[in-house]
Amino acid sequence: MRPELLLLGSGWVPEVDQLLEERFICHRLAPVAAADRSAFVERVGAGVRGVFTTGMAGIDAALAARLPRLEIVAVHGVGVDAVDFDALTPRGIHVTNTPDVLTDDVADLAVALLLAASRRLPQLDRHVRSGAWEAKTPLAPGRSLRGKVAGIVGLGRIGRAVATRLESFGMTIRYFQRSTADRPYARSESLLALAAESDYLVVCAPGGAATRSMIDRPVLDALGPEGTLVNIARGSLVDETALVLALEEGRLGAAALDVFADEPRVPASLRERDNVVLTPHVGSFTVETRTAMGRLAVSNLVAHFDRQPLPTAVSAAAPG
């Protein structure tokens, strides 16, 4: 008998769907109307032994409590801040994620956002499409990256990959995190100091309670009216209200954002600003990376039910 899974969220490629269907009995929550989801879980929950979820969907204590036979939660993503470890760990429920396979594409997007903001690519695109170029409408220049300082908030896998890429543009790299990284970059004494010492602040730290709203008004003010904030981590790391005010009042130069506080809802005050570049949480959204992520997530499930070591287990002590 194939093990039963509850699938939360969406975003994996067709090949992953096929792998899941071949090895498991799949109960998909996403297509179920919101009003019917509680009844759906009531109907299938007693047989569910595994959950296949996304980094954004995770799993909370209330849902986990309705799955009495749950053994493993496989996260299709690297972030596990939406997983309630306090609810899962006492029950011995395993958690896995998909690190490394998405590092390069997420880092590439971080650099693309930074370049888009510094060289004003969205504005240039509109300038051409609207006929403003042909009409000889004045155009504001962009900013060069060479000689500027990129401050990396969180020098983990993705942060290191971003730093390596930005070095090739002639940028100086600084970073801040609680621990000292094994990399030849200068570590600022605090996040506030990093912001003050940087032209571009790139947020790569994990989400969760410890990092919630860490990019607040003092940090944004330290980055300053010539500074640019880039966030490819989690929307929860940035005080979005403070960010909007900093942009509106000219205390921050620009922002380039792939993640938001209440996705997919993005404040109109961000959507309407000319000095903000926005993408819809697509750091890992390439065919190659989503395929690799899905294969790894499925491999974790298969290993568990075959009683083999988990390829990428996440411990409750260090989620994400």
Q: Do residues 140 and 127 touch, judged by C-beta distance below 8 A? A: no
Q: Which of 49, 234, 290, 304 is catalytic?
A: 234
Is 23 catalytic? The answer is: no
pLDDT value at 21 more than 70: yes
Is 272 catalytic? The answer is: no
Q: Report which of 80, 88, 98 is spatially closest to residue 12, judged by C-alpha positions.
A: 98
Instruction: Please list the residues that pair with 50 across neighbouring strands.
Output: 5, 72
Q: Which of 42, 226, 248, 263 is catalytic?
A: 263
Query: For tokens 């996705």, what's the residue?
Result: 263
Is 263 catalytic? The answer is: yes
pTM over 0.85: yes
**Mean residue pLDDT across the chain:** 95
pLDDT value at 318 more than 70: no
Give tens-digit pLDDT for 266-300: 999 999 999 999 999 999 999 999 999 999 999 99
pLDDT value at 66 more than 60: yes
Identify the sign of the CA torsion 119, 157, 153, 207.
positive
The pair of three-digit structure tokens given for residue 211, joined into one six-digit string: 């990092």
Q: Do residues 227 and 195 touch, judged by C-beta distance below 8 A? A: yes
pLDDT value at 54 more than 70: yes
Angle at the Cα of 212 from the Cα atoms of 203 and 283, rounded to 5 degrees: 40
pLDDT value at 319 more than 50: no
In sequence order, the 6+-apart residues with CB closer than 8 A to the CB of 165 are 107, 108, 110, 111
pLDDT value at 1 more than 90: no
254 pLDDT band (50/70/90 cuts)? Answer: very high
Q: Do residues 43 and 88 touch, judged by C-beta distance below 8 A? A: no
Angle at the Cα of 299 from the Cα atoms of 293 and 305, rounded to 5 degrees: 145
Q: Report which of 44, 71, 152, 149 is spatially closest to residue 107, judged by C-alpha positions.
A: 152
In sequence order, the 6+-apart residues with CB closer than 8 A to the CB of 131 are none
Query: For tokens 């009531």, what's the residue?
Result: 42
Q: Do residues 16 and 298 touch, judged by C-beta distance below 8 A? A: yes
Give tens-digit pLDDT for 115-151: 999 999 999 999 999 999 999 999 999 999 999 999 9
pLDDT, position 36:
98
DSSP letter at 65 equals H
Q: Are strands 25-28 and 72-76 parallel, antiparallel or unpaired?
A: unpaired
What phi and psi values does residue 306 have, to the nearest 5 degrees? Answer: -90, 5
Q: Which of 76, 281, 290, 304 is catalytic?
A: 281
Give tens-digit pLDDT for 74-96: 999 999 999 999 999 999 999 99
Q: Report which of 312, 73, 84, 65 is spatially closest to residue 209, judged by C-alpha positions.
A: 84
**Helix residue ranges, H only, 67-182:** 85-88, 103-118, 121-129, 157-167
pLDDT, position 320:
41
Give tens-digit pLDDT for 186-195: 999 999 999 9
C-alpha–C-alpha distance, residues 224 and 213, integer Å: 18
At position 212, the amino acid (one-letter code) is R
CA 20 from centroid of its chain's CA atoms: 24
